[in-house]
């Protein structure tokens, strides 16, 4: 909290209200001439916008003070950058910081192309410098506890994603149409798909491994991969989470495709999860999320390259 000395505060006759000593009020109520330089000093010192009548901060976010206060049904995974084609690994590097890292949060809410959760709003109230990236240990705990709703993106990434989503929906009508046009194998055709195997990830032609174009806010060294499949993954009737049987099928695939490729100790470098239905932004297209840490970029390219069986 910044305390501003009274000598720097601009008092406007007949509009300013000061509660307290009546003699001080009478003295301060007289017209006072204060230079623009003092006004600029107040603005630079506070970095906030103040009203002239109440001197209250109009830009103070009224959101929770930490992610631990939140358990919203949101913060779902989405995809980015319609200029990327399948197998393009240029997204390995995180996006650059937003040149305007602290815009008005209420304006962002009004312009959002999708409903913002309380988690999203809380993120938008921060700058990238204030944002705390997810660590590997934190991610392991969230996934083990199935506490996926608090996964979040950096504020600048979330704002860019909002802008990109609006543009993409205007051009393609839906996220599904964009993914089918630019990211998924042309050999799949359009939903409903006809997979070669009814068992998820049993047939290489039925799944596609891509980098997530819009990853969450992770500490350096963590890469976010999405595995898309045209074979349905069984879920329960409660909240659309995986059944024990389908969870084992997915776990076996992750071990076979990712963990074993990394050799001894590979299990310590790989995490995976599948959002339940309420958290999915592209429900028509089945997919899981895989996170890897400190993996050679060449191996990541090997995992995500365009496979021969996906070429039309």
pLDDT confidence of residue 268: 97
Asked if the bond preceding 208 is cis, omega within 30° of 0, the reply is no
Q: Are 193 and 120 in the same domain?
A: yes
Which residues are 113's β-sheet partners? none
pLDDT confidence of residue 277: 64
pLDDT confidence of residue 92: 35
Domain of residue 163, residue span:
67-310
Distance, in Å, from the CA atom of 127 to the CA atom of 124, rounded to the nearest integer, reads: 8
pLDDT confidence of residue 149: 83
DSSP 3-state assignment of 231? coil
Q: Are 210 and 264 in the same domain?
A: yes
Q: What share of the chain is helix, strand, coil (3-state, %, to 5)?
A: 40, 10, 50
pLDDT confidence of residue 158: 93
Q: Are 33 and 88 in the same domain?
A: no
Q: Are 215 and 244 in the same domain?
A: yes
Which residues are 293's β-sheet partners? 222
Q: Are 40 and 178 in the same domain?
A: no
> 169 is written with which tokens?
């929906």
Number of neighbours of residue 51 by Cβ within 10 angstroms = 9
Percent of the chain having pLDDT more than 70? 62
Q: Are 113 and 250 in the same domain?
A: yes
Distance, in Å, from the CA atom of 294 to the CA atom of 103, rounded to the nearest integer, reads: 33
> 228 is written with which tokens?
């898309």
Torsion of CA 246, 252, 257, 261, to 10 degrees: 160
Q: Are 297 and 254 in the same domain?
A: yes
pLDDT confidence of residue 132: 96
Distance, in Å, from the CA atom of 104 to the CA atom of 99, rounded to the nearest integer, reads: 14
pLDDT confidence of residue 189: 94
Q: Are 29 and 84 in the same domain?
A: no
What predicted TM-score, i.e. pTM, was given to this entire model?
0.66
Q: Are 39 and 182 in the same domain?
A: no
Is the dihedral angle over the CA atoms 217, 222, 228, 229 positive or is it negative? negative
Interior angle at CA 159, CA 153 and CA 161, nearest 5: 75
Distance of CA 95 to the CA centre of its chain: 12
Q: Give me the helices (H) in 78-172, please.
A: 105-111, 118-124, 136-144, 155-172
Can you list the residues of the chain whose pLDDT is less than 70?
Answer: 1-111, 277-283
Domain count, the chain: 2
CB neighbours of 156 closer than 8 A, spacing ≥ 6? 95, 97, 98, 101, 128
Q: Are 13 and 101 in the same domain?
A: no
């Amino acid at each position: 909290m910044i305390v501003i000395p009274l000598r720097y505060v601009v008092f406007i006759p007949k509009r300013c209200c000061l509660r307290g000593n009546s003699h001080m009020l009478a003295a301060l109520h007289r017209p006072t001439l204060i230079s623009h330089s003092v006004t600029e000093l107040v603005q630079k010192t506070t970095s906030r916008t103040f009203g002239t009548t109440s001197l209250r901060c109009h830009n103070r976010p009224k959101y929770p003070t930490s992610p631990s206060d939140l358990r919203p049904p949101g913060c779902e995974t989405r995809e980015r950058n319609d200029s990327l084609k399948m197998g393009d690994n240029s997204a390995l590097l995180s996006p650059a910081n937003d040149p305007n890292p602290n815009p008005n949060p209420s304006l962002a809410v009004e312009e959002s192309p999708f409903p913002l959760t309380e988690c999203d709003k809380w993120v938008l109230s921060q700058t990238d410098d204030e944002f705390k990236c997810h660590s590997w240990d934190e991610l392991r705990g969230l996934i083990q506890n199935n506490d996926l709703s608090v996964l979040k993106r950096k504020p600048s990434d979330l704002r860019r994603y909002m802008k990109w989503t609006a543009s993409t929906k205007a051009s393609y009508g839906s996220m599904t149409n964009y993914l089918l046009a630019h990211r998924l194998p042309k050999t799949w055709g359009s939903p409903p798909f006809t997979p070669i195997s009814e068992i998820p990830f049993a047939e290489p032609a039925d799944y596609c491994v891509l980098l997530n174009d819009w990853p969450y806010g992770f500490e350096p060294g963590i890469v976010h991969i999405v595995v898309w499949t045209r074979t349905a993954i069984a879920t329960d009737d409660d909240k659309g989470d995986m059944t024990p049987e389908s969870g084992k099928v997915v776990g076996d695939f992750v071990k076979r495709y990712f963990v074993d490729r990394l050799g001894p100790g590979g299990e310590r470098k790989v995490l995976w999860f599948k959002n339940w239905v309420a958290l999915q932004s592209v429900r028509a297209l089945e997919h899981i999320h895989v996170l890897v840490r400190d993996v050679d970029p060449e191996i990541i390219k090997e995992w995500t390259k365009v496979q021969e069986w996906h070429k039309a």
